[in-house]
Amino acid sequence: MCGIVGYIGKKPALPVLLSGLKRLEYRGYDSYGFCILEKKKDVFLYKKKGKISELQEDFSNIKGQIGIAHTRWATTGAVSEQNTHPHFDCHKNIFLVHNGIIENYQELKEQLIKEGHQFTSETDTEVLAHLIEKYFDDNLEEAVRQALKEVRGTYGIAVISKKDPEKIVAAKLGSPLILGINDNEFLVASDPAAIISSTRQIITLDDNEIAVLSPDKFFILKEKPIEKIEWDIEDAQKQGFSHFMLKEIFEEPEAIKKSIVGRMILEQGLAKLGGLDEVSERLKKIEKVVIIACGTASYAGKVGEYMFEEYAKIPTKLEIASEFRYKNSILDDKTAVLAISQSGETIDTLEAIKEAKRKGCLTLGLVNTVGSSIARETDAGVYCRVGQEIAVASTKAFISQLSILALITVFLGRQRGMSLTTGKRILQELEKLPDLARKILNKSDDIKDLAKKYSEYRNFFFLARKYNFPIAQEGAIKLKEIAWKIHAEGYPGGEIKHGPIALIDENFPTVVICPSDSVYDKMKNALEEIKARKGKILAVITQGNDEIKNLADDVIYIPKTLEMLTPILTTIPLHLFAAYLGLELGLDIDKPRNLAKSVTVE
Ligand code: M6R
């Protein structure tokens, strides 16, 4: 998520904007920019790559009292000054900052270019500036209103114009936007953290609302109550959550949505992945996929292996990147190597890609951080688009990786004989997931109670089969990282009887992931084996299953979905369980001991 702040009032705008941008920097942005309307309709526009905290320049001569600013976390288009906001129209009359994704930007851009507009960036945002220019006839809010009618996607925007200079126009759909109200000054921001040092009086804009801010008044299409911010700055950055990890877990429904929005052509059962289009012909000839990743990302990769083989009918193998690099796998130009990484900087994964390239493979990336080393090193790829993860534990990025792997399954599958019906079915079920994920989070208090109940144990097994086996591993790694006083292992359900069952007794609980799927009966057997040895059982099961309720000590329900998509839902309670257990043990769940967010050493 990018950050926006705008100011209009009686004092120089720039110091207010810079202080706002600094308040947002905790999220780790890659570039920033601002635009100030000076007297006599001059404009001061500034864009820079890097961190705002490193800004040295003296801007004391910039006195304009109207301005907008932006911190970017690249999604569409690389990290560069051209792609940094504010974006502008052909004649540099209209300037705009945006948070969100314009899904239909490519078609709008093509049309605007035909109409003679000239673009200077690779971003989706720039189409908004040109669309507003197209409709501009001396009234900025009217032009914004007209332009937004053509847009599909999400936005929180703030717009200013040299030709209608006494105002900021702000509008929102799907991305957060608030107004800050003060005596003789108004602010607009994507996040209360950006304006909290200027005012605590805010109005939260609703979707499809447009606000017009002038130096002495503001106007929204309908009357809205003014609220008061009761948090301090750190709380504001965590948006009311006690920890970033919790905030990021609660963003998981949105992460699914951001990962799939604009990437599905439902009626044709097709996944539209722009980043793979350029290698689409080569992908048709690929005979084998090797997925490389580390830690949590590797568990996403394992789910991908199952998805690709079952639905795309392409031989696939997950390899731990640090092992892959040294084991001299048999690879050739008919092999696609897909690297999965949240940070895009994990050295083991990066070096494994280089090795795959040496062997002539097509290399692909599934990465969250735009412009990162892995994104640059791979031939093509898909971005997660879920915004920066701050907590060390990867949560929302993992959910996004799973969602995008389902899309890639459809992409590859439809190249290899997957039927229209199957493609459509997967996409339709995928589209329902954000709502289903929200239902799980609505029960977070129950999971918190379970975490309290189980906090006395120091060892856990996580068991599952097939698609959920990697989720057992994910549940275990999260517990190890976040509640590190506890030891946990994730096992395939069928393996426990080959050794680990010796450990089971009343002091060794097992989390059994057992949705109603093709391996349900087999998992039930494992559950009974544990029960017979007096092991405590916490089962993650599908809503409506009354059978396991009587076998397990405790249950967590997930809504019903397609088997291949169940990992996206079963993961969510396990992320919460680990976070709450860590808190129960008095640990810092955002910064677990001995761990770093990105592992750039071998
Ligand atoms: O940035 P990456 O996704 O490449 O990181 C890979 C692992 O280091 C990472 O997933 C690690 O396992 C996390 N701390 C898990 O929460």
Within the chain, all domains assigned CATH 3.40.50.10490 are found at 237-439, 443-589
Burial label for 453, CB within 10 Å (0-12, 13-18, 19+), is middle
Residue 392 CA, ligand 1 centroid: distance in Å: 8
Please give the number of the atom of ligand 1 that sits closest to the Cα of 395: 16
Whether residue 154 is predicted with pLDDT greater than 90 in this model: the reply is no
Task: Tell me which residue of 228, 188, 189 sits closest to 212, measured CA to CA.
Answer: 188
pLDDT at 89: 96
Give the up-direction half-sphere exposure of residue 52: CA atoms within 13 A in the CB hemisphere. 27
CATH superfamily of 2-229: Aminohydrolase, N-terminal nucleophile (Ntn) domain (3.60.20.10)
pLDDT at 125: 95
Residues in the chain: 602
Please give the number of the atom of ligand 1 that sits closest to the Cα of 349: 4
pLDDT at 365: 97
User: Catalytic residues, which ones?
Assistant: 2, 597
Mean pLDDT score of the chain: 92
Segment 509-566, tens digit of pLDDT: 999 999 999 999 999 999 999 998 999 999 999 999 999 988 899 999 999 999 999 9
Residue 105 CA, ligand 1 centroid: distance in Å: 32
Segment 467-506, tens digit of pLDDT: 999 999 999 999 999 999 999 999 999 998 899 888 999 9
CA–CA separation, 340 and 67 (whole Å): 39
Looking at the DSSP bridge assignments, the partners of residue 298 are: none
Within the chain, all domains assigned CATH 3.60.20.10 are found at 2-229
For the chain, the maximum distance between any two Cα atoms, rounded to a whole number of angstroms, is 83
Domain 443-589, classified CATH 3.40.50.10490, yes or no: yes
> Which of 320, 348, 394 should be mutated for ligand 1, with most atoms under 8 A from CB?
394
Give the whole-number percent of the chain exceeding pLDDT 90. 76
- Do 133 and 89 meet the contact criterion of CB atoms below 8 Å apart? yes
| 24 confidence band (pLDDT: 50, 70, 90) | confident
CA–CA separation, 386 and 259 (whole Å): 7
pLDDT at 425: 98
pLDDT at 557: 97
Whether residue 113 is predicted with pLDDT greater than 60 in this model: the reply is yes
CA–CA separation, 93 and 82 (whole Å): 17
For atom 12 of ligand 1, the residue with the nearest CA is 295
pLDDT at 230: 63
CA–CA separation, 152 and 262 (whole Å): 9
pLDDT at 371: 75
pLDDT at 595: 81
CA–CA separation, 572 and 579 (whole Å): 11
Segment 227-249, tens digit of pLDDT: 776 666 666 677 789 999 999 99
Task: Tell me which residue of 324, 286, 292, 323 sits closest to 305, measured CA to CA.
Answer: 292
| Alpha-carbon distances of 435 from 253, 441, 467, rounded to whole Å | 7, 10, 21
Segment 196-230, tens digit of pLDDT: 889 989 898 988 899 999 998 898 976 566 777 66
Give the whole-number percent of the chain exceeding pLDDT 70. 97
Task: Tell me which residue of 403, 323, 589, 354 sits closest to 478, measured CA to CA.
Answer: 589
Residue tagged 């051209």 (tokens): 82
Task: Tell me which residue of 29, 34, 36 sits closest to 1, measured CA to CA.
Answer: 29
CA–CA separation, 161 and 92 (whole Å): 9
- Do 234 and 554 meet the contact criterion of CB atoms below 8 Å apart? no
Summarize the confidence of residues 25-35 as an average pLDDT.
83
The pTM of the full predicted model, rounded to 2 decimals, is 0.77
Give the distance from CA 237 to its chain's centroid: 17
pLDDT at 28: 64
CA–CA separation, 381 and 390 (whole Å): 23
User: The domain at 237-439 falls in which architecture?
Assistant: 3-Layer(aba) Sandwich (3.40)
- Do 355 and 325 meet the contact criterion of CB atoms below 8 Å apart? yes
Whether residue 280 is predicted with pLDDT greater than 90 in this model: the reply is yes
Of the candidate ranges 62-66, 67-71, 168-172, 233-237, the one whose mean pLDDT is the lowest: 233-237
Residue 374 CA, ligand 1 centroid: distance in Å: 14
